[in-house]
Protein backbone atom coordinates (compact mmCIF):
# COMPACT_ATOMS: atom_id res chain seq x y z
CA UNK A 1 0.00 0.00 0.00
CA UNK A 2 1.30 3.43 -0.94
CA UNK A 3 0.96 6.30 1.58
CA UNK A 4 0.30 9.59 -0.11
CA UNK A 5 0.99 12.88 1.67
CA UNK A 6 -0.13 16.08 0.00
CA UNK A 7 1.31 19.50 0.71
CA UNK A 8 -2.09 20.88 1.72
CA UNK A 9 -2.72 17.93 4.03
CA UNK A 10 0.57 18.42 5.81
CA UNK A 11 -0.17 22.12 6.11
CA UNK A 12 -3.66 21.52 7.60
CA UNK A 13 -2.33 19.00 10.08
CA UNK A 14 0.38 21.38 11.29
CA UNK A 15 -2.09 24.27 11.52
CA UNK A 16 -4.54 22.14 13.56
CA UNK A 17 -1.76 21.26 15.99
CA UNK A 18 -0.86 24.93 16.37
CA UNK A 19 -4.49 25.95 17.02
CA UNK A 20 -4.86 23.20 19.64
CA UNK A 21 -1.74 24.42 21.38
CA UNK A 22 -3.04 27.99 21.30
CA UNK A 23 -6.36 26.85 22.79
CA UNK A 24 -4.56 25.07 25.64
CA UNK A 25 -2.41 28.16 26.18
CA UNK A 26 -5.46 30.46 26.30
CA UNK A 27 -7.12 28.17 28.85
CA UNK A 28 -4.04 28.22 31.09
CA UNK A 29 -3.71 31.99 30.78
CA UNK A 30 -7.39 32.41 31.75
CA UNK A 31 -6.90 30.15 34.78
CA UNK A 32 -3.89 32.16 35.91
CA UNK A 33 -5.74 35.44 35.44
CA UNK A 34 -8.92 34.34 37.28
CA UNK A 35 -7.38 31.99 39.82
CA UNK A 36 -10.13 29.50 38.93
CA UNK A 37 -9.34 26.29 37.11
CA UNK A 38 -13.02 25.44 36.58
CA UNK A 39 -13.68 28.21 34.07
CA UNK A 40 -16.15 26.02 32.19
CA UNK A 41 -18.27 23.17 33.49
CA UNK A 42 -17.31 21.17 30.39
CA UNK A 43 -13.68 21.19 31.52
CA UNK A 44 -14.54 19.02 34.56
CA UNK A 45 -18.27 18.22 34.83
CA UNK A 46 -17.88 16.18 38.04
CA UNK A 47 -15.69 18.78 39.72
CA UNK A 48 -17.99 21.62 38.65
CA UNK A 49 -21.04 19.84 40.08
CA UNK A 50 -19.24 19.17 43.34
CA UNK A 51 -18.06 22.79 43.53
CA UNK A 52 -21.64 23.97 43.01
CA UNK A 53 -22.81 21.81 45.91
CA UNK A 54 -20.04 23.21 48.09
CA UNK A 55 -21.01 26.77 47.11
CA UNK A 56 -24.56 26.03 48.19
CA UNK A 57 -23.40 24.58 51.52
CA UNK A 58 -21.20 27.63 52.18
CA UNK A 59 -24.09 29.97 51.31
CA UNK A 60 -26.27 28.05 53.79
CA UNK A 61 -23.65 28.53 56.51
CA UNK A 62 -23.57 32.25 55.78
CA UNK A 63 -27.36 32.34 56.03
CA UNK A 64 -27.14 30.59 59.41
CA UNK A 65 -24.55 33.13 60.52
CA UNK A 66 -26.76 36.09 59.61
CA UNK A 67 -29.67 34.57 61.53
CA UNK A 68 -27.42 33.79 64.50
CA UNK A 69 -26.10 37.35 64.58
CA UNK A 70 -29.61 38.81 64.62
CA UNK A 71 -30.73 36.35 67.29
CA UNK A 72 -27.63 37.00 69.38
CA UNK A 73 -28.29 40.74 69.26
CA UNK A 74 -31.90 40.26 70.39
CA UNK A 75 -30.96 37.85 73.18
CA UNK A 76 -28.27 40.19 74.49
CA UNK A 77 -30.77 43.06 74.44
CA UNK A 78 -33.25 40.87 76.31
CA UNK A 79 -30.63 40.04 78.92
CA UNK A 80 -29.87 43.75 79.33
CA UNK A 81 -33.58 44.58 79.62
CA UNK A 82 -34.10 41.90 82.27
CA UNK A 83 -31.07 43.17 84.18
CA UNK A 84 -32.51 46.68 84.16
CA UNK A 85 -35.94 45.39 85.20
CA UNK A 86 -34.36 43.43 88.06
CA UNK A 87 -32.54 46.54 89.24
CA UNK A 88 -35.80 48.50 89.29
CA UNK A 89 -37.53 45.76 91.26
CA UNK A 90 -34.66 45.74 93.75
CA UNK A 91 -35.17 49.48 94.21
CA UNK A 92 -38.94 48.97 94.66
CA UNK A 93 -38.21 46.38 97.34
CA UNK A 94 -35.93 48.81 99.18
CA UNK A 95 -38.64 51.45 99.04
CA UNK A 96 -41.27 49.04 100.40
CA UNK A 97 -39.06 48.14 103.36
CA UNK A 98 -38.36 51.81 103.99
CA UNK A 99 -42.03 52.76 103.82
CA UNK A 100 -43.02 50.06 106.29
CA UNK A 101 -40.94 51.60 109.06
CA UNK A 102 -42.99 53.09 111.90
CA UNK A 103 -40.97 56.32 111.80
CA UNK A 104 -41.89 57.18 108.21
CA UNK A 105 -44.35 60.06 107.97
CA UNK A 106 -47.45 59.97 105.73
CA UNK A 107 -45.84 62.63 103.52
CA UNK A 108 -42.71 60.52 103.04
CA UNK A 109 -44.83 57.47 102.23
CA UNK A 110 -46.58 59.46 99.51
CA UNK A 111 -43.19 60.44 98.05
CA UNK A 112 -42.18 56.78 98.13
CA UNK A 113 -45.43 55.90 96.36
CA UNK A 114 -44.55 58.41 93.62
CA UNK A 115 -41.17 56.72 93.11
CA UNK A 116 -42.82 53.28 93.00
CA UNK A 117 -45.14 54.52 90.24
CA UNK A 118 -42.11 55.92 88.41
CA UNK A 119 -40.49 52.48 88.63
CA UNK A 120 -43.67 50.97 87.19
CA UNK A 121 -43.49 53.38 84.25
CA UNK A 122 -39.84 52.52 83.68
CA UNK A 123 -40.71 48.82 83.63
CA UNK A 124 -43.39 49.56 81.05
CA UNK A 125 -40.77 51.32 78.92
CA UNK A 126 -38.42 48.35 79.26
CA UNK A 127 -41.22 45.97 78.24
CA UNK A 128 -41.67 47.97 75.01
CA UNK A 129 -38.00 48.08 73.98
CA UNK A 130 -37.08 47.25 70.40
CA UNK A 131 -34.02 45.54 68.94
CA UNK A 132 -32.79 48.46 66.85
CA UNK A 133 -34.26 46.93 63.67
CA UNK A 134 -37.85 47.97 64.25
CA UNK A 135 -38.92 44.80 66.07
CA UNK A 136 -40.03 44.76 69.70
CA UNK A 137 -38.18 42.41 72.01
CA UNK A 138 -41.22 41.23 73.95
CA UNK A 139 -44.02 41.11 71.34
CA UNK A 140 -43.80 37.36 70.88
CA UNK A 141 -44.04 36.33 67.23
CA UNK A 142 -45.95 39.49 66.26
CA UNK A 143 -44.30 42.34 64.41
CA UNK A 144 -45.47 45.92 64.05
CA UNK A 145 -47.19 46.19 67.45
CA UNK A 146 -46.38 47.97 70.68
CA UNK A 147 -46.81 45.04 73.07
CA UNK A 148 -47.72 46.85 76.30
CA UNK A 149 -50.06 49.75 76.92
CA UNK A 150 -51.69 51.42 79.91
CA UNK A 151 -55.45 51.08 79.96
CA UNK A 152 -57.63 52.20 82.86
CA UNK A 153 -54.83 51.88 85.38
CA UNK A 154 -53.95 48.37 84.20
CA UNK A 155 -51.41 47.23 81.65
CA UNK A 156 -52.62 45.22 78.66
CA UNK A 157 -50.58 43.03 76.33
CA UNK A 158 -51.04 43.24 72.54
CA UNK A 159 -48.41 40.69 71.53
CA UNK A 160 -48.86 36.92 71.41
CA UNK A 161 -47.42 33.93 73.24
CA UNK A 162 -45.36 32.71 70.28
CA UNK A 163 -41.60 32.51 69.90
CA UNK A 164 -39.84 32.30 66.57
CA UNK A 165 -37.26 29.56 66.05
CA UNK A 166 -34.10 30.68 64.27
CA UNK A 167 -31.83 28.24 62.42
CA UNK A 168 -28.28 29.00 63.58
CA UNK A 169 -26.46 25.87 62.37
CA UNK A 170 -27.32 22.67 60.50
CA UNK A 171 -29.82 20.74 62.63
CA UNK A 172 -29.88 23.45 65.33
CA UNK A 173 -32.64 26.03 65.85
CA UNK A 174 -32.84 28.29 68.90
CA UNK A 175 -35.82 30.18 70.30
CA UNK A 176 -36.04 33.94 69.96
CA UNK A 177 -36.73 36.26 72.89
CA UNK A 178 -39.50 35.35 75.35
CA UNK A 179 -42.97 36.78 74.78
CA UNK A 180 -43.82 39.67 77.08
CA UNK A 181 -46.83 37.77 78.38
CA UNK A 182 -44.48 35.27 79.98
CA UNK A 183 -41.90 37.80 81.17
CA UNK A 184 -44.03 40.57 82.65
CA UNK A 185 -47.58 39.27 82.91
CA UNK A 186 -47.15 35.84 84.53
CA UNK A 187 -44.67 35.93 87.40
CA UNK A 188 -45.66 33.84 90.38
CA UNK A 189 -46.51 35.61 93.61
CA UNK A 190 -45.88 34.81 97.28
CA UNK A 191 -42.90 32.51 97.59
CA UNK A 192 -43.58 31.04 94.16
CA UNK A 193 -45.55 28.12 95.59
CA UNK A 194 -47.96 29.50 98.17
CA UNK A 195 -49.30 32.93 99.01
CA UNK A 196 -51.08 34.34 102.01
CA UNK A 197 -53.03 37.61 102.02
CA UNK A 198 -55.07 39.48 104.58
CA UNK A 199 -58.76 40.04 103.83
CA UNK A 200 -59.33 43.73 103.10
CA UNK A 201 -62.20 44.02 105.61
CA UNK A 202 -60.06 42.99 108.61
CA UNK A 203 -60.48 45.31 111.61
CA UNK A 204 -57.80 43.95 113.94
CA UNK A 205 -54.06 44.56 114.02
CA UNK A 206 -52.98 41.11 112.85
CA UNK A 207 -50.19 41.28 110.29
CA UNK A 208 -49.21 38.27 108.19
CA UNK A 209 -45.46 37.81 108.46
CA UNK A 210 -44.96 34.66 106.42
CA UNK A 211 -46.77 31.73 104.86
CA UNK A 212 -45.06 28.50 103.90
CA UNK A 213 -45.78 24.85 103.18
CA UNK A 214 -44.91 22.85 106.29
CA UNK A 215 -46.13 19.41 105.15
CA UNK A 216 -46.61 18.84 101.42
CA UNK A 217 -48.46 15.59 101.99
CA UNK A 218 -51.06 17.35 104.18
CA UNK A 219 -51.39 20.48 102.04
CA UNK A 220 -54.41 20.19 99.73
CA UNK A 221 -52.90 22.63 97.16
CA UNK A 222 -56.19 24.52 97.00
CA UNK A 223 -57.52 27.76 98.53
CA UNK A 224 -57.83 27.84 102.33
CA UNK A 225 -59.02 30.50 104.77
CA UNK A 226 -57.64 31.07 108.25
CA UNK A 227 -60.59 32.67 110.07
CA UNK A 228 -60.51 34.09 113.59
CA UNK A 229 -63.63 33.41 115.63
CA UNK A 230 -62.14 35.48 118.47
CA UNK A 231 -58.81 37.27 119.01
CA UNK A 232 -57.35 34.00 120.33
CA UNK A 233 -59.19 31.21 118.46
CA UNK A 234 -59.07 30.29 114.81
CA UNK A 235 -60.46 27.86 112.24
CA UNK A 236 -58.81 26.60 109.06
CA UNK A 237 -61.49 26.24 106.39
CA UNK A 238 -61.38 24.85 102.88
CA UNK A 239 -62.71 26.68 99.83
CA UNK A 240 -66.21 25.44 100.52
CA UNK A 241 -66.22 26.68 104.12
CA UNK A 242 -65.73 23.29 105.76
CA UNK A 243 -63.68 23.53 108.95
CA UNK A 244 -60.55 21.42 108.64
CA UNK A 245 -59.01 22.19 112.04
CA UNK A 246 -59.19 24.64 114.93
CA UNK A 247 -56.79 26.02 117.52
CA UNK A 248 -55.76 28.88 119.72
CA UNK A 249 -53.54 31.80 118.80
CA UNK A 250 -50.90 33.50 120.87
CA UNK A 251 -49.88 36.97 119.55
CA UNK A 252 -46.59 36.63 117.71
CA UNK A 253 -46.94 32.87 117.43
CA UNK A 254 -47.34 30.61 114.41
CA UNK A 255 -50.30 28.54 113.31
CA UNK A 256 -49.87 25.20 111.58
CA UNK A 257 -52.83 23.48 109.94
CA UNK A 258 -53.63 21.62 106.70
CA UNK A 259 -49.92 21.35 105.91
CA UNK A 260 -49.43 25.13 106.06
CA UNK A 261 -47.60 27.25 108.61
CA UNK A 262 -48.66 30.88 109.08
CA UNK A 263 -46.66 33.38 111.11
CA UNK A 264 -48.64 36.37 112.46
CA UNK A 265 -47.95 39.40 114.58
CA UNK A 266 -50.41 41.72 116.29
CA UNK A 267 -53.91 40.89 117.47
CA UNK A 268 -56.53 39.83 114.94
CA UNK A 269 -60.13 40.74 115.75
CA UNK A 270 -63.04 38.33 115.70
CA UNK A 271 -64.13 37.99 112.07
CA UNK A 272 -60.68 38.72 110.63
CA UNK A 273 -59.38 36.25 108.07
CA UNK A 274 -56.34 35.45 105.96
CA UNK A 275 -56.56 33.71 102.61
CA UNK A 276 -54.01 31.07 101.67
CA UNK A 277 -53.74 29.60 98.17
CA UNK A 278 -51.31 28.17 95.63
CA UNK A 279 -49.30 31.16 94.43
CA UNK A 280 -51.24 32.73 91.56
CA UNK A 281 -49.67 34.58 88.67
CA UNK A 282 -49.86 38.37 88.62
CA UNK A 283 -48.36 40.89 86.26
CA UNK A 284 -45.53 42.89 87.73
CA UNK A 285 -47.28 46.16 86.89
CA UNK A 286 -50.26 45.20 89.06
CA UNK A 287 -47.88 44.28 91.88
CA UNK A 288 -46.27 47.72 91.84
CA UNK A 289 -49.60 49.50 91.46
CA UNK A 290 -51.02 47.68 94.50
CA UNK A 291 -47.93 48.63 96.51
CA UNK A 292 -48.16 52.30 95.49
CA UNK A 293 -51.88 52.42 96.27
CA UNK A 294 -51.25 50.91 99.71
CA UNK A 295 -48.58 53.51 100.43
CA UNK A 296 -50.96 56.29 99.40
CA UNK A 297 -53.69 55.06 101.74
CA UNK A 298 -53.88 56.73 105.19
CA UNK A 299 -52.42 54.78 108.11
CA UNK A 300 -53.88 56.83 110.94
CA UNK A 301 -55.21 53.99 113.12
CA UNK A 302 -53.92 50.67 114.38
CA UNK A 303 -56.16 48.77 111.95
CA UNK A 304 -55.03 50.99 109.04
CA UNK A 305 -51.39 50.47 109.96
CA UNK A 306 -52.02 46.72 110.03
CA UNK A 307 -53.57 46.93 106.53
CA UNK A 308 -50.49 48.84 105.38
CA UNK A 309 -48.22 46.19 106.92
CA UNK A 310 -50.13 43.39 105.22
CA UNK A 311 -50.11 45.19 101.86
CA UNK A 312 -46.39 45.92 102.08
CA UNK A 313 -45.68 42.34 103.16
CA UNK A 314 -47.60 41.00 100.16
CA UNK A 315 -45.84 43.47 97.90
CA UNK A 316 -42.42 42.42 99.16
CA UNK A 317 -43.07 38.73 98.62
CA UNK A 318 -44.58 39.35 95.17
CA UNK A 319 -41.64 41.54 94.14
CA UNK A 320 -39.20 38.88 95.34
CA UNK A 321 -41.05 36.25 93.29
CA UNK A 322 -40.93 38.53 90.21
CA UNK A 323 -37.19 38.99 90.71
CA UNK A 324 -36.72 35.22 90.78
CA UNK A 325 -38.85 34.99 87.65
CA UNK A 326 -36.62 37.48 85.83
CA UNK A 327 -33.49 35.65 86.99
CA UNK A 328 -34.87 32.37 85.67
CA UNK A 329 -35.50 33.91 82.24
CA UNK A 330 -32.04 35.48 82.28
CA UNK A 331 -30.56 32.04 82.95
CA UNK A 332 -32.47 30.64 79.97
CA UNK A 333 -31.25 33.54 77.84
CA UNK A 334 -27.67 32.91 78.90
CA UNK A 335 -27.98 29.24 77.99
CA UNK A 336 -29.12 30.17 74.48
CA UNK A 337 -26.26 32.66 74.12
CA UNK A 338 -23.87 29.86 75.07
CA UNK A 339 -25.50 27.66 72.44
CA UNK A 340 -24.99 30.44 69.91
CA UNK A 341 -21.28 30.53 70.74
CA UNK A 342 -21.09 26.76 70.26
CA UNK A 343 -22.97 27.04 66.96
CA UNK A 344 -20.54 29.74 65.79
CA UNK A 345 -17.60 27.40 66.46
CA UNK A 346 -19.34 24.61 64.55
CA UNK A 347 -20.04 26.90 61.61
CA UNK A 348 -16.44 28.15 61.57
CA UNK A 349 -15.05 24.59 61.54
CA UNK A 350 -17.44 23.45 58.83
CA UNK A 351 -16.84 26.62 56.81
CA UNK A 352 -13.07 26.04 56.90
CA UNK A 353 -13.50 22.42 55.82
CA UNK A 354 -15.81 23.31 52.93
CA UNK A 355 -13.55 26.16 51.82
CA UNK A 356 -10.55 23.85 51.84
CA UNK A 357 -12.36 21.24 49.75
CA UNK A 358 -13.63 23.89 47.34
CA UNK A 359 -10.17 25.38 47.02
CA UNK A 360 -8.79 21.99 46.05
CA UNK A 361 -11.41 21.69 43.33
CA UNK A 362 -11.44 25.23 41.98
CA UNK A 363 -8.33 27.21 42.89
CA UNK A 364 -5.37 27.24 40.54
CA UNK A 365 -2.06 25.78 41.64
CA UNK A 366 0.05 28.67 40.37
CA UNK A 367 3.33 26.75 40.43
CA UNK A 368 1.89 23.92 38.33
CA UNK A 369 -0.01 26.29 36.03
CA UNK A 370 3.09 28.44 35.43
CA UNK A 371 5.15 25.36 34.55
CA UNK A 372 2.36 24.20 32.24
CA UNK A 373 2.21 27.64 30.64
CA UNK A 374 5.95 27.55 29.90
CA UNK A 375 5.66 24.10 28.35
CA UNK A 376 2.69 25.23 26.24
CA UNK A 377 4.62 28.29 25.05
CA UNK A 378 7.51 26.06 24.05
CA UNK A 379 5.14 23.73 22.22
CA UNK A 380 3.54 26.65 20.36
CA UNK A 381 6.94 27.99 19.31
CA UNK A 382 7.86 24.57 17.97
CA UNK A 383 4.51 24.31 16.15
CA UNK A 384 4.99 27.79 14.67
CA UNK A 385 8.49 26.91 13.39
CA UNK A 386 7.12 23.71 11.92
CA UNK A 387 4.30 25.62 10.22
CA UNK A 388 6.76 28.12 8.76
CA UNK A 389 8.88 25.32 7.35
CA UNK A 390 5.82 23.65 5.87
CA UNK A 391 4.68 26.93 4.31
CA UNK A 392 8.15 27.54 2.74
CA UNK A 393 8.59 24.07 1.29
CA UNK A 394 6.82 21.87 -1.27
CA UNK A 395 6.90 18.23 -2.26
CA UNK A 396 8.04 19.43 -5.62
CA UNK A 397 11.34 20.26 -3.92
CA UNK A 398 11.92 16.50 -3.68
CA UNK A 399 11.53 15.93 -7.40
State the pLDDT confidence band at 103, using cuts at 50, 70 and 90.
Answer: confident
How many structural domains are present in the chain? 3
Is 355 part of a structural domain of the chain?
no
> Is residue 284, in this structure, part of any structural domain at all?
no
**Closest residue by Cα to residue 367 from 73, 127, 4, 28:** 28
Is 23 domain-assigned?
yes
**Phi, psi angle pair for 208, to nearest 5°:** -80, 120
22/131 same-domain check:
no
H/E stretch holding 21 reads helix 7-34
Rounded to an integer, the average pLDDT of 119-126 is 97
Whether residues 344 and 370 fall in one domain: no
Please check whether residues 66 and 211 belong to one and the same domain.
Answer: no
- Same domain flag for 151 and 76: yes
Tell me the sheet residues that pair with 234.
Answer: 228, 247
**Domain span at 126:** 56-188+319-350
247 and 137 share a domain? Answer: no
| 289 domain-assigned | no
Q: 67 with 162, same domain? A: yes
Count Cβ neighbours within 10 Å for each residue of 351-364 and write b for 16 or more, e otherwise: beebeeebeebbeb
pLDDT score at 279: 95
Q: 132 with 73: CB under 8 angstroms? A: yes
Bigger pLDDT: 368 vs 64? 64
Say what the pLDDT of residue 8 is.
62
174 shares a domain with 89: yes
Tell me which of 187 and 382 has the higher pLDDT. 187
Is 260 among the domain residues? yes
Residue 240 lies in a domain: yes
> Chain centroid to CA 333: how far?
5
Instruction: Assign 45 a pLDDT band (cuts: 50, 70, 90).
Output: low
- In the sheet where 233-238 sits, what is the strand order? 194-198, 273-278, 224-230, 233-238, 243-248
What per-residue confidence (pLDDT) applies to 214? 95
Query: Does residue 265 sit in the same domain as residue 333?
Result: no
What's the pLDDT at 12?
Answer: 65
- Identify the pLDDT of residue 22: 59
Same domain, 64 and 184: yes
Distance CA 121, CA 137 (A): 17
3-state SS, one letter per residue, for 355-388: HHHHHHHHECCHHHHHHHHHHHHHHHHHHHHHHH
User: Are residues 75 and 170 both part of a single domain?
Assistant: yes
Confidence of residue 358 (pLDDT cuts 50, 70, 90): low
- Phi/psi class of residue 88: alpha, beta or left (left: φ > 0; alpha: ψ in -120 to 50)? alpha
Q: So what's the pLDDT on residue 191?
A: 92
Q: Is the pLDDT of residue 383 over 70?
A: no
**Is 299 domain-assigned?**
no
Q: How confident is the model at residue 379 (pLDDT cuts 50, 70, 90)?
A: low
Residue 179 sits in the same domain as residue 233: no
Domain of 85: which CATH number?
A: 1.20.1330.10
Reported confidence tier of residue 51, pLDDT bands at 50, 70, 90: low
Find out whether 131 and 73 touch, Cβ atoms under 8 Å: yes
Say if residue 77 is in the same domain as residue 179: yes
Amino acid sequence: MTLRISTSGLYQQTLATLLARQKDLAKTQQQLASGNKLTRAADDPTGAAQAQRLDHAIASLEHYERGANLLGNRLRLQESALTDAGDYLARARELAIQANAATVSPEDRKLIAIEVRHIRNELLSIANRDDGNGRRLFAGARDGVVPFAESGGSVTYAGDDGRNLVDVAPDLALADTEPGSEVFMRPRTGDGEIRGTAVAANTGTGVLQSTRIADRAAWPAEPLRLAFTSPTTWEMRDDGGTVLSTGTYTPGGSITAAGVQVQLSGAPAAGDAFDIAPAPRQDVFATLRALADALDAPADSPAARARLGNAVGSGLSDIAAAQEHFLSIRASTGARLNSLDGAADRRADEHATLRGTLSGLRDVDYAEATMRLNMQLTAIEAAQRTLLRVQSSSLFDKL
